[in-house]
Structure 1
């Protein structure tokens, strides 16, 4: 079933969170586990904090493993973690007295980066989790429990010209206000000094950055955080009820069907223009927030300002690319817009670079906005693309709220650059493991719920590809997709019910692949049937059925893959792999319909290899033989028919027959076919097209010649 993410409803106001604290669950937890419980509660509620955003801490008494004495230890979310899903090992642990002693090494703003280098020297109990840049905000405050979060309602206040006044109106003097300062030791010192000078405050709004608050217990800190976010949400909702968001609508969105069709057509063409070190994977959203924004009066003005909160900015780049919906069919226009964005980004880099700045990174846009259609995001993998879209959705909410109380204030260009190209951020990127070889590749596998299809999909997923499974058996398809989602993550696998003999269903499957992932790099044409009958018993219906599935089905899937694959030659090209058969090159008793249809598909592959070469489309064939174990084809009449053709039992005797007749005397499994497909789909075979690989344990009749 194609997952329908295209429904949109009216844009909602800011969500008002409520406490989800469970006293019974909390009563059984240790102090460290209470910190984790609080953190998970906060992070799993996206009205409270964004994915990967926010940090929490507690100052706990621990036994020093060296001295045996009780010491105060800061437990604080480590670098790069997500408080919604983290475990106890996601916290950095540091001696609190050593953290406070670091101030002796601090002489001012220029020392911010230097101070980060001292944090590992404060590690408690050899904890390998790196401390985050926000650690000083927690260590320098004298409170037992501290939360720092950036929900949309809070950032809307923090990124508005009316934010400071609104903070006073909402909370009186209970919540303070600090001007923008990049995260680091200096911000921690400023925060500590502000609280000392204003002992009545219960939290502080950090302009452009979020809110930080505290309490004496884990529960009190959690509920204080929730209360502050709810206060901000209710205040903004009251203001939003007084005037239309973004000064109202300037146009109407396209219908659901039109948005879906436009996205399926546009995303592959945009993706083909985004040249770089790695291919892009796309994500599309036409949620209520996106449609309200892109169809509004203030859309272009606000989009050009860019995002505000560093959490948003690091995911979405300096600004989105906006497109004229009337010119989406003009490929020259699209190429000029992508090139213009790259030139804009390069100019931004040159204006803002420091003598020691890292080299310029990928200059392609991440966020693409289209009035009437919605929001598209592109990144090197599906999860990053989806998160970028979600973060821009947060940015839209922030702009809506900020404009309701004043003027939206985006991050200063130089400040934005200094965060994006921060040497500490670069060091974090350099520590990340190299991506798997198929990351950025998008595959569609027909017959994806069967033995060879599922094994092939698993092999591609293992090395990082995104996979669209297509199969006519909806129940089997759901089962396979669900299993892969658990094994590899739900972002990278989708499914579409598809009978390859029905061109409308084939077209719909490829459109779904384009919408869900942004294009196509690999087609594995695998959907098949098998039949066995003497020529005198071969009916025209049986003959046509074989040709409909094995010849016409391969033709239709290749035809609809073609449009998605053309244009990708500058990014290394694309690959089509046909699953053929030993019987395509070697005659078989009582299988004229099946074997001749397979032979037709094999020759089709050779013809397509000629036609595809100028476009970088490689077309190759894998010829299996006797893949009995794990194959759905062998679960039906085919097993009995082939056993009858050889006059043997259809059980273990048939398997032994095929194994013993092979030159290598070995069983051929779906995973063996998958390895051959992976080779032909990957860059390992980048210079091979028009070829056949036999995976049959050796059969002299099938030798290619």
Structure 2
């Protein structure tokens, strides 16, 4: 074998090939499939050449695969496992045996597909999950269609759960069919091989593109059937408004067992599927490829009302369907669970389909929710292809259960890190484009929250959202909090981005520092419009969504020391801060029955990084105290008990303390963050 193996650059070529294949969603889904290369390396003990296998390890994504994501194994030891293989009933034991074949230190853990790559007599192997290939794999007469599509160049392999035996099966198929460049794995995907990296990639693309052309040329039009009257897609604006109205209720259903983050999809693929007469039958059959149903569950929850049904009727029907879904999922678990099966992980749907509106998908974080939706789009494409040339026939329910509740999958879940304190929580922070708001947004995101960065300055909001990591962590919204419609639109954007809202920080503010006789009625109105009216509008919309979700929530007001004791020449500012402080008390009393906690933070003297101070307030306060503006922070610090300057990060720490899970029984509280201003002690 050694003489036919490629030289040491094999890993570099493997990574480049993986990136090209993974970058095109037609080739494989996110984190789906794996690639490998065999080559020679040096035994660090003997200094002699050894045959090695580099293969994508457990987890990871082909498009972003790095060298650390590869498992490296001694090929002779891996192939020797054929002699000790205990049979298909005990093949899960082979995954642990792979660890004894590893070469060197570091690298990724070997995946269940390692045998497929190591046992096949080819220098390079690709295993992929293209929609076109899975469509043939999931067709009722998939074997005949594979022959019609490829002749003898691609061989059919009947469904078998991924594992050591499947690797043996594929190796035997390749040996028995020397003319073949790959195979279609029933119910699963494709595998291709080649003597060089270029040949392997070309063979993978040949299978994928040939299957695409076959389905297009041989497929019948409208494979999902005729359009159902009333199930057509709503116009875009109506669709998004309806989705935003439904999102909190749908998220509540998906979070019955544990809180979830949501994602909304209304692509043409989804909307067309839901408008067709065949969608109830096909959705009930569930997905087939293991990568699909591990993320989407065996089947989705499908609303059986037209898009024009009244909102109240739709919400009520979704609740009924959810109860039935939970009963059915529990029965599915009971039918197939063995005494040693992992415990049921939850009976809520991961995918909720609403005709005329779109798809809601859910997961432990935004990326997981988004990817679940992407996988269901893959499943729709698979159904379309299979129905176009045959009948969609996914693997049996019992086989799905064996994979969903596979001990190897359970072990993978156990290896995941503990969730951060604010994981699954969606936060909306106003005035988050700078200063305290920006610091709060950073702290909440660092603790696991999804963050809606709301600010009147669109550029600042976008910059902060980008700092936080982009749309899987944070999205920007432009909002004038004095505008009722704008506030409603901001929350619509929030629920469409993440499924709902759990935590709101009222931080947006301005400051007008003038003596009473110089304060105009307009000054007063502008100051109160932003902070008193703005906080009211934001809190009211937050309470509406949180109440609909039924998951509780937090509303935090960034108030001020001035709400308790005010300095000179700021009557408008201090009065509106007192208004905010009393809103905390009023809303805490009113919203407690819904599990919504309302608390306040009272900072003082936050100069550095503050948008308010940079906007002229600092100069006016410095003039009031007869000092230079650059001395203002130190001046405020000197008058405190701790003699410490207060920074935006200190306020953010207090917001997290109130919302991070340790103060679950605290509401109506104001936390001073002023380094100790005795006159502002709460009594």
TM-score, normalising length: structure 1: 0.93
Q: Residues 127-276 of structure 1: matches in 2 within 5 Å?
A: 127-240=106-219, 242-250=220-228, 251-276=231-256
The whole-number CA distance in structure 1 between the counterparts of 2:360 and 2:125 is 36
One of 635, 638, 642 as aligned partner of 1:657: 635
**Deviations 1:644-674, CA, capped at 9 Å, x for gaps:** 11122222x2222111111111110000000
Corresponding residue for residue 53 of structure 1: 32
Q: Whole-Å Cα distance in 2 between the matches of residues 533 and 311 of structure 1?
A: 63
**Shift of the alpha carbon at 1:276?**
4.5
Taking the TM superposition and a 5 Å limit, the aligned residue runs for 1:258-407 are 258-276=238-256, 278-325=258-305, 326=309, 328-330=311-313, 331-407=315-391
Counterparts of 1:433 and 1:583, CA distance in 2: 42
Q: Which residue of 2 aligns with 1:93?
A: 72
Please state if 1:506 is matched with 2:487: yes
Q: Distance in 1 between matches of 2:152 and 2:529?
A: 75
Following the alignment from structure 2 to structure 1, what is the Cα–Cα distance between the partners of residues 224 and 478? 40
Q: How far, CA to CA, are the matches of 2:11 and 2:260 in structure 1?
A: 40
Give the drift of 1:129: 2.0
- State the distance in 2 between where 1:519 and 1:200 align: 54
CA distance in 2, matches of 1:410, 1:28: 41
Aligned to 1:697: 675
CA distance in 2, matches of 1:268, 1:256: 19
Mapped contact 2:558–2:601 kept (Cα < 8 A): yes
Secondary structure of the corresponding residue to residue 558 of structure 1? helix
Paired with 2:599 and 2:657, the residues of 1 have a C-alpha distance of 10
* CA distance in 2: counterparts of 1:29 and 1:403, whole angstroms: 45
1:526 aligns with one of 507, 521, 542: 507
Partner of 1:459: 443
- Give me the whole-angstrom Cα distance separating, in 1, the residues matched to 2:324 and 2:529: 47
State whether residues 251 and 500 of structure 2, in contact with CA within 8 Å, keep that contact through their aligned partners in structure 1: yes
Q: What's 2:662 paired with?
A: 684
Deviating more after overlay: 391-400 vs 329-338: 329-338
Q: Measured at CA, do residues 297 and 333 of structure 1 come closer, stay the same or move farther in structure 2, by a change above 3 Å?
A: closer
Note the C-alpha offset of 1:410. Answer: 1.5
CA drift at 1:142: 0.8
Distance 1:656 1:682 in 2: 31
1:327 CA drift (Å): 6.1
Q: Distance in 2 between matches of 1:327 and 1:193?
A: 58
SS in 1 for 2:510: coil
2:430 aligns with: 446
Q: Which residue of 2 aligns with 1:17?
A: none
2:602 is matched with 623
Q: Deviations over 1:99-147 (max 9, x none)?
A: 1111111242112112222111111113452111111111111111111
2:7–2:40 CA contact under 8 A, matched in 1: no
Which consecutive unaligned segments of at least 5 residues does structure 2 have?
1-5
Q: Tell me how far 1:258 sits from its aligned partner.
A: 1.2
Equivalent position of 2:3 in the other structure: none
Call closer, same or farther: CA 1:563–1:581 in 2, change over 3 Å. same
Query: In the alignment, does 2:392 pair up with 1:412?
Result: no
CA deviation map 1:628-658 (0-9, x unaligned): 000010112211111111122222x222211
- One of 455, 462, 482 as aligned partner of 1:471: 455
* TM-score when normalising by structure 2: 0.96
Query: What is the aligned partner in structure 2 of residue 421 from structure 1?
Result: 405
For 2:561 and 2:356, how far apart are their aligned partners in 1?
51
Deviations 1:277-300 (A, max 9, x none): 531111000001000101111010
Give the count of matched residue pairs: 672
**Cα offset, 1:332, TM superposition:** 3.7
Matches within 5 A, 1:532-611: 532-568=513-549, 571=551, 573-611=552-590
Aligned-pair CA distance for 1:567? 4.6
Tell me how far 1:162 sits from its aligned partner: 3.3
Contact 1:383 1:491 in 2 (8 A): yes
Does the 8 Å CA contact 1:59/1:144 hold for their aligned counterparts?
Answer: yes
Q: 2:130–2:189: 8 Å Cα contact kept in structure 1? A: yes
CA separation in 1, counterparts of 2:619 and 2:109? 62
Moved more, 115-124 or 444-453: 115-124
Q: Which residue of 2 aligns with 1:430?
A: 414
Q: 1:222 and 1:195 mapped to 2: Cα distance? A: 17
Q: Deviations over 1:321-369 (max 9, x none)?
A: 0013336523443322222111111100000011210111111000000
Paired with 2:497 and 2:243, the residues of 1 have a C-alpha distance of 9
Q: How large is the Cα RMSD of the aligned pairs?
A: 1.5
Per-residue displacement from partner, 1:190-231 (whole Å, max 9, x unpaired)?
A: 222222222222211111111111111111111221122111
CA–CA separation in structure 1 for the residues paired with 2:531 and 2:174: 74
Query: In the superposition, relative to structure 1, how do residues 645 and 274 fare at CA in structure 2: closer, same or farther (>3 Å)?
Result: same
Are 1:162 and 1:405, in contact at CA under 8 Å, matched by a contact in 2? no
Cα pair 2:257 2:347 within 8 Å, conserved: no
How far apart in 2 are the matches of 1:133 and 1:637? 62
Rate the CA distance shift 1:73–1:28 in 2: closer, same or farther, 3 A: closer
Partner of 1:14: none
Does 1 or 2 have the higher relative contact order (CA < 8 Å, sep 6+)? 1
